[in-house]
Chains A and B, each alone.
Chain A
Amino acid sequence: MDEQPDITERTCINCGTKLAIEARFCNNCGFTQAVTKTYDSNWQRTLIGLLCFFGALTIVCLAGNASGDRDIDFFLLIDLLFIVITVTGAAIMWNDIKPFLKWNNFNILKVIGYSLLSVLLAIVVNIIIDWLNKSMFGVEVYYYKAFEHLKYAKLITILMIAVQPAIFEELAFRGVMQSGLSRVIDSKQAIYLTAFLFAIIHMSFISLFWLIPFAILLSYLRNKENTLWYGVVMHFCFNATACFLEFFKLDIL
């Protein structure tokens, strides 16, 4: 995180002379001021760690996507693996993530606004996806089909499609990934990279057209509001809307 210090003067990191805010070198000792605390001295280790983290998540998602038979046990196993990897990553990055788990400046109007926005987005995206699926594959795809034979099928659908991803995908990407990347690259670039990685891990290249913008929005909000929770709320609303639209189409609402 490279929060701009709002002081107009600072001191040289080498000799302590007072410096103008825009000085890149000390006018007294010539020491470079570019080696800021925002750049992790262990950046290679951070990068390799993030790569392993992302690789593990990718393998899990690939496995979840590749398998033909999809019963509840399989989904649970995939979700469990995803959660284990995410929590491990979060534990390692705990100091970086902790501030974002707080919900300072809780604002109910914002919550409602963001929720409505994601409901609206979900409806628009669903209409487009339905149209694409019908016109391209001649089929309609329902998550619910995997759970419909179960007791409390709707509740399970909501839990698996809306609740779990909202919490753990947010923790994995807006939490671990974005915090880790912010150590290595500047926060604006971290927003885009996190969003991109988040989008492609969904393994649906056709969906990239809406996943990337939605992910950029979530990553941007995380930085703007300094909390993961608005993202969690938006993610939940988005996915829950998709679920309810399915129930509606299947006439089981």
Chain B
Amino acid sequence: MITEPILNLPKCRACGNAVNEHDQFCTSCGFPLRGTDEEQNVFITARHFRKSQVQTLQRKIKNAQTTLFVLAGLFSVIGVAYYFIGGQNDLGFAVMITNLILAAVFLALGGWAKNKPVVALISGLVLFVLVQLISIIEDPTNIVRGIIIKVLVIIYLVKGLQSAIEAEKIKKEHNIS
């Protein structure tokens, strides 16, 4: 493989990648190398716009990630409290361990949401809904307990998930990192 000509190759104005002299378009970002000034400017503006779009989406992903961490915190606090306040019996211990395992899973998903937001957020959402379903089946009054927090959690996770899918699509189609 010859690597030295890269030094002499012109760089793309939009993404900075090396391009071949006779190319019409940058193979890395699609920049019209032979286009008119106007075409080039339109491209660069659109690319900037998409970048800021991705940044907005990433804020929503970040919120969802924070939600997962908050869930981890809530589950561990509730679990430990259940055991120590509700009399330290076997049932309390089982509830605590279950809560701590759930907290660990949410924590892991939160950490993972940085690299793989789509999968981490779907997993977190499904797990959260399932936990709620099980608790409602066990005691139907659970549906109203902390309903505001539950709805908020679901809203944040769903918004984050939508943003993650959208961001991934934009990044893939336009090669924006």
Contacts and interface: CB of A to CB of B under 8 A. Distances in A.
Interface of A: 19-20, 22-32, 34-35, 54, 58, 62, 65-66, 132, 136-138, 185, 189, 192-193, 196-197, 200, 203, 205-206, 208-209, 212
Given A23-B27, A24-B29, A208-B105, A136 B123 contact: no
A25 B90 contact: no
The main secondary structure of chain A at its interface with chain B is: mixed
A65 B122 CA distance: 23
B90 A203 contact: no
Interface in B120-139: 122-123, 126-127, 130-131, 133-134, 137-138
Contacts of A208: 101-102, 105
Contacts of B123: 192-193, 196-197
A25 B25 contact: yes
Nearest to B129: A58
A216 B102 CA distance: 18
A30 B137 contact: no
Contact of A30 (B32, B105, B119, B173): B32
A192 B118 CA distance: 11
Contacts of B26: 25, 27
Interface of B: 19-20, 23-30, 32, 90, 93-94, 97-98, 101-102, 105, 116, 118-119, 122-123, 126-127, 130-131, 133-134, 137-138, 172-175
A27 B174 contact: no
A136 B97 CA distance: 9
A189 B25 contact: no
Contacts of A66: 137-138
Given A136-B94, A205-B102, A192 B119 contact: yes
Contacts of B130: 58, 200, 203
B98 A206 contact: yes
A19 to B, nearest CB: 7
Contact of B118 (A35, A189, A203): A189
Contact of A197 (B30, B126, B175): B126
A65, A138, A192, A209, most chain B CB atoms within 10 A: A192
Contact of B98 (A19, A29, A193, A205): A205
B157 to A, nearest CB: 14
29 contacts: A22-B27, A23-B27, A26-B25, A26-B27, A27-B23, A28-B24, A29-B25, A30-B24, A30-B25, A30-B32, A31-B30, A35-B173, A65-B134, A66-B138, A136-B90, A185-B119, A189-B116, A192-B123, A193-B119, A193-B122, A193-B123, A196-B126, A205-B98, A205-B101, A205-B102, A206-B94, A206-B98, A209-B101, A212-B105
B97 A206 contact: yes
Nearest to A192: B119
A65 B134 CA distance: 9
Contacts of B175: 24-25, 34
Contacts of B28: 23-25
Contact of A25 (B20, B27, B94): B27
Nearest to B171: A34
A203 B127 CA distance: 10
A30 B118 contact: no
Given A34-B173, A196-B123, 6 more contacts: A24-B30, A30-B30, A62-B137, A66-B138, A189-B116, A192-B116
